[in-house]
């Protein structure tokens, strides 16, 4: 399954719209039903309106009618980790133990979890 997620994120990364930063990112999430949803970063001339790949993938998951993910993979040029906003969105739709793979274009370089990336996530509780 990790390879399927990696392939989906790598393919999405190729479609990233990054004319301002030149930094292409792809992500994919695995739903509890086994479906994979991918996303890429989509920049905007007005920088705050851009979307990170992780959030685009999670939004695709939600648009399909699902509200949870079991695993997420992030593929960047150098294996960067998710930004703070993405970590909070991951906490909303994942669980603390949901797996997060960090990868570069050659493959996974780190395995972590939503809870490890954001140990004190804001929640309704």
**Catalytic positions, please?**
54
Residue located via tokens 């959030």: 55
Q: Which two tokens stand for residue 102?
A: 């960090």
Q: How many other CB atoms are there within 10 angstroms of residue 81's CB atom?
A: 13
Distance (Å, whole) CA 8 – CA 31: 14
Of 5, 10, 2, 3, the closest CA to residue 75 belongs to 10
């Amino acid at each position: 399954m990790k390879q399927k997620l990696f392939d989906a994120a790598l393919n999405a990364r190729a479609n990233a719209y990054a004319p301002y930063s030149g930094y292409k990112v792809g992500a994919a999430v695995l739903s509890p039903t086994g479906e994979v949803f991918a996303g890429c970063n989509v920049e905007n001339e007005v920088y705050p309106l851009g979307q990170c790949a992780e959030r685009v993938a999670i939004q695709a998951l939600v648009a399909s009618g699902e509200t949870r993910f079991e695993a997420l993979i992030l593929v960047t040029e150098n294996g960067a980790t998710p930004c703070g906003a993405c970590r909070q969105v991951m906490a909303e739709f994942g669980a603390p133990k949901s797996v997060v793979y960090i990868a570069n274009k050659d493959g996974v370089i780190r395995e972590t979890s939503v809870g490890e990336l954001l140990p004190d996530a804001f929640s309704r509780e």
